[in-house]
Amino acid sequence: MKLNQSSISKIGRELQSLVKGEVLFDEFSRGRYSTDASIYQITPIAIIIPKDTDDVLRVLEYCKLNELPILPRGAGSSQCGQSIGECVVLDYSKFQNQILDINLDEKTAWVQPGLVLDQLNAHLKKYDLCFPVDVSTSSRATIGGMTGNNSCGSRSLYYGNMVHNVEAVEAILDDGSLYIFENIKKDYLITKNNKNRQYKIIEELIKIYLNNKQEINENFPKTQRRVGGYNLDLINPNGFNTSNILVGSEGTLSLFNKVKIKLSPIPKQKMLGLCAFQNFRQAMEITKEIVKLKPTAVELMDDNLLNLAKLIPMFQGSIKKYFKGNPEAVLMVEFIDDNLNEVKHKIKNLESLILSQNKNNFFSFYENLTDQKEIFEMRKAGLNILMSLKGDKKPVAFIEDCAVSLDHLADYTTRLNEVFKKYNTSGMFYAHASVGTLHVRPIINMKSEQDIKNMRSITEEAFQMVKEYKGAHSGEHGDGILRSEFHEMMFGKKLVNAFESVKDLFDHKSIFNPHKIVRSYKQNDRSLMRYKADYKAEKINTHYDWSNWGEFSDAVEMCNNNGACRKLDSGVMCPSYRVTKDEKDLVRGRANTLRLALSNQLPKDAFVSKEMFETMELCVGCKACQRECPMSVDISKMKSEFLFHYYKKFSMKLKDKIISNMPQNIWLIKLMAPIFNNIKNIPILNKVIEWLFNFSTKRTMPEVQNINPLKDIYYSQKNFNNKVILLADTFNINFEIHNLIYAIKVLNKFDYKAIIPNFDDDSLERPLCCGRTYISYGQLDKARAEMQRFTNYIINNNYTSTPVVGIEPSCLLTFNDEYNSLKNIENKEKIKNKFYLIEEFILEKIKDGKKVSTNKFSNNVLVHGHCHQKSQDRLKGLLELLTTLNIKHKPIETSCCGMAGSFGYDAKNYDISKKMAHLTLIPTIKKEFKYDDIIVANGTSCRSQIFDFSDQKPQHVSQLLFKIFETIN
């Protein structure tokens, strides 16, 4: 089926008239939904984001009448192409994500299919319960997706797969009927009144089982990890859980309306052992002995994964802290029990086992849950760490789900490496050693025809080995496009016919996610792949240096669609998505749109189109993706590159011109702000102001302050023994000079004279600037000019080794980031300065032994970190300083405050900005702030946002330090 855009638009408009939810059918949206975390790309017909069951039923009825296939989707992070197709896609994740009922007596819950696992477990924690199928994508994996995939998780050795933890599924069948598939007894099967559609399905399923019983016994894998095909082996004529046939069906049999899941108690005692081996095979051989100790999990990380993790900012600290030397393999072994002594006994036995095998092995164990979580987070990110390999050659998933018994694990991995050598590649290993499932990813180039041929050959040879060992070719991530084709090879023709009978029993006209599990696409059909035979990315002129990746397009292609940016309850990424829940507002959505545009898969001139601007518009430049995206896809920089080209074609809004040119046009704001603040609340005028200037009249515009008090303090500085350059940023030197005054006095206390360049050098007509406002609006040539001014000043005044101290994180940290990557800044290599936030500088001086007397300080401090501090892991300096000074403090765990420079001042963005603030920041302040508490927020925009919505007046840390250090001159 190939529909033209006119037909698709007609379908989209008709669907819009039917549903309460959202309908997306423009080419940009369809492109964003054309990929999952697999190697494939298929553009959908339209995307429906249903509000409720009625929406789903209306869409199903429409698709039946118009013979359109339909595909349910959760997080869109499938590894095998399950969640893409030329279908009408139902995205359940935005609205159908509620916990419907929790039964504490029977420890079960009914949930909607779009509910994310981490959010479920966060809610269950207060009952000391959890849902234990702990997939590595728990921050975005939906229960519906996990059920459709028969997901497993690290602890499946102990808790089992989804099929062992799903009690019932309320399914929508192809005729629109709803039935609950659950445990049935033999009595049900002989009840004459049950002659409805569901009864007939169950009756036929039992016949299919009985007709294929011998083949099921002989050909179904004997491993615990087996998710290929349909679960015929779990059918029992004497009664069985009928939902078992739907678990792992990948949306090919029905839609899920709600799922009943089995809950487990949160373990009371837990310990983790780390076992490091100098020899990979030895790690594989010893696994079967470790399992005899009855662990909860045995997880593998090989040296390739560990070495890549060392290059990723998010994991560098963990590697240094927990992993010693350069082992070929590390096994993480977890034990849980109600009895701590029993857990310790097992850990001791594990240590004895590991060290008795080889004296060069290394063993350590961790009882602290924080340590355990940090280590497990790195293993959970294993896939993404592997995909962080730069260049066209990547570790590609196509045989990664094979599972063999532990008796064969060592031989299997040895033989597999021999196959890799045969095809001039190597593999990366990680994941679930406890159940014989190793995620093995050969390194190949999916843009190379020869490598795609090699992929096919490696697949066939690997699967033949697995069959020989009576293992499973599909052990965790499912079938999709990637593995469905090989069912006949692995199960035999008769069982494949049985799978087809199951499909036809549920889905008469094959409208549910066709070409998956049965009657499948070819695995190596390049027309279905992300990088098709004619794929070619356009080269564009850039201001940033992207050579570490190759070209700009190569950096964009680093996004592998794993969906880590969809997380909602930890870190900062991705702030706007946390409010809108729209795919376009993700790092993934933006990167996909850029990739499609640069490779000419969207309408002409898509890269500099209005639609691309809308895609990038709500990126607030928090830069969290630089750290929290495992591939470090830096959308903030990519947005700047895009805006530079965009504003060559389209004009900039008046507000944006005023803000971006603030370093040079501060005089205009000085004139404009008082007038704006005085007339903005006059009826009618406020609408005119918003229309004309785009500034929200719900905000108060900051007014430029008299700079003389700062000059007085500056020129009154005595002769100190040391000097620092104080970066008097555009925001503080114009709007909050008291922060610079406090900073000067604190630096003086430590025997440092603060040099403010434009006070120091008469040739400078205005303050030096990092170029941040220009960067935010894509004026990268002007940003470079500002950085050149800074560079020239430092060199001309022989300050190339003088520390630079800043008080505005977004400005100071520009010199650790954009300054280094912007091209064509002359003499940049001569800059040897260290760049400090003021708290980092003071902390270093204290650590160096500088003795400074302090005032008694009993107030509690709530700390809100600026996004750029968090993205560069620079909040730790502030927290460590407060700890060193014995100040009671607590960081506010939050994403972006929502102001984000001028973002929140824009009339169009005000509501989203407010919602971002109210996700966690403002509720936390209102809940935890006590009368004499102090809120510290180093970002100018952060302080403004907190003041607007909490009625509290936060302060810069320099003001706090001024209060702490006594007798400051």
What is the rounded CA–CA span in Å between residue 297 and residue 306? 19
CB 770 within 8 A of CB 819: yes
Q: What is the pLDDT of residue 116?
A: 97
On whether the CB atoms of residues 537 and 591 are closer than 8 A, the answer is no
pTM of the predicted model as reported, rounded to 2 decimal places: 0.94
Report the DSSP pairing between strands 297-302 and 269-277.
Answer: unpaired
Who wins on pLDDT, 430 or 901? 901
pLDDT tens digits, 60-78:
999 999 999 999 999 999 9
Mean pLDDT of 692-706: 91
- pLDDT tens digits, one per residue of 733-790: 999 999 999 999 999 999 999 999 999 998 898 999 999 999 999 999 999 999 999 9
Q: What is the pLDDT of residue 388?
A: 73
The string of pLDDT tens digits covering residues 316-344 is 888 888 888 889 999 999 999 888 999 99
Instruction: Count CA atoms closer than 13 A to 922's CA, side-chain side.
Output: 18
Confidence of residue 390 (pLDDT cuts 50, 70, 90): confident
Give the pLDDT band of residue 384 (cuts 50, 70, 90).
Answer: low
Per-residue DSSP letter, 955: B
Q: How confident is the model at residue 437 (pLDDT cuts 50, 70, 90)?
A: confident
Q: What is the 3-state secondary structure (H, E, C) of 78-105?
A: CCCCCCCCCCEEEECCCCCCCEEEEECC
What average pLDDT score do residues 939-954 get? 95
Structure confidence at residue 311 (pLDDT) = 80
- Name the range with the highest mean pLDDT among 294-303, 425-434, 879-888: 879-888
- Confidence (pLDDT) at 968: 41
How far is the CA of 393 from the CAs of 328, 386, 631, in angstroms?
22, 11, 14
Give a three-class secondary structure readout of 596-632.
Answer: HHHCCCCCCCHHHCHHHHHHHCCCCCCCHHHHHCCCC
Distance CA 295, CA 433 (A): 12
Question: First and final CA of the chain: distance in angstroms?
Answer: 78
pLDDT digits (tens, 9 = 90+) for 707-716: 999 999 999 9
Q: Dump pLDDT digits (tens) for 623-648.
A: 999 989 988 899 999 999 999 999 99
Of 401 and 445, which is predicted with more confidence? 445
How confident is the model at residue 967, as a pLDDT?
54
Under DSSP, is residue 352 helix (H, G, I), strand (E, B) or coil? helix
pLDDT in tens, 560-596: 999 999 999 888 999 999 999 999 999 999 999 999 9
- Which ranges constitute the DSSP H helices of 220-279? none
Contacts of residues 734-739 at CB distance under 8 Å and 24 or more positions apart, as own/partner, are: 734/666, 734/669, 734/704, 734/705, 734/707, 735/702, 735/703, 735/704, 735/705, 735/940, 736/705, 736/940, 736/956, 737/705, 737/707, 737/709, 737/710, 738/959, 739/807, 739/956, 739/958, 739/959
Report the run of H or E that residue 320 belongs to, with start and end. helix 313-322
Mean pLDDT, rounded, for 451-475: 94
The pLDDT score that the predictor gives to residue 299 is 87
CB 313 within 8 A of CB 873: yes
Beta bridge partners of 22: 49
> What angle in degrees, to the nearest 10, is found between the helix axes of 5-16 and 53-65?
140
pLDDT at 685 over 90: no
Order of strands, sheet of 752-755, starting from the edge strand that comes earlier in the sequence: 752-755, 722-727, 804-806, 835-837
Instruction: Give how far Cα 782 sits from Cα of 332, 543, 607, 622, 664, Å.
Output: 51, 11, 22, 21, 11
* Pairing mode of beta strands 393-395, 297-302: unpaired
Peptide bond into 574 cis (omega under 30): yes
- Tell me the helix, strand and coil percentages in the chain, rounded to 5: 45, 15, 40
> Over 50: is that where the pLDDT of 397 sits?
yes
Taking the CA of residue 770 as centre, how many other CA atoms within 13 Å lie in the half-sphere pointing to its CB? 28
The rounded Cα 328 to chain-centroid distance in angstroms is 28
pLDDT at 969: 41
* Cα–Cα distance measured from residue 479 to residue 499, given in angstroms and rounded to the nearest whole number: 13
The pLDDT assigned to 668 comes to 86
> 């549910």: which residue's tokens?
512
Q: Output DSSP code: residue 142.
A: B
Give the model's pLDDT for residue 597: 98
User: Has residue 190 got a pLDDT over 70?
Assistant: no
pLDDT in tens, 805-817: 999 999 999 999 9
Is the CB of residue 217 less than 8 Å from the CB of residue 272? Answer: no
Mean pLDDT of 215-220: 94
Of 181-190, 264-273, 871-880, 911-920, the poorest mean pLDDT is in 181-190
Do residues 694 and 658 touch, judged by C-beta distance below 8 A?
A: no
Looking at residue 193, what is its pLDDT? 57
Taking all residues of the chain, what is their mean pLDDT, rounded to a whole number?
93
- How far, in whole angstroms, is CA 47 from its chain's centroid? 22
Q: What is the C-alpha to C-alpha distance for residues 85 and 455, in angstroms, rounded to an integer? A: 22
In the block, tokens 């007798």 appear at 967
**Interior/surface letters 937-960, b for 16+ CB within 10 angstroms, e for the rest:** bbbbbbbbbbebbbebebbbbbbb
CB neighbour list of residue 141: distance below 8 Å, 6 or more residues apart: 74, 75, 77, 116, 117, 135, 151
d(CA 224, CA 128): 28
For residue 72, give the nearest of 364, 507, 709, 508 by alpha carbon: 507
- φ/ψ bin of 510: left (φ > 0), alpha (ψ from -120 to 50), beta (otherwise): left
**Percentage above 70 pLDDT, the chain:** 98
The residue behind tokens 């008795």 is 356
Residue 819 pLDDT class (50, 70, 90 cuts): very high
Pair of tokens at residue 106: 């029977």
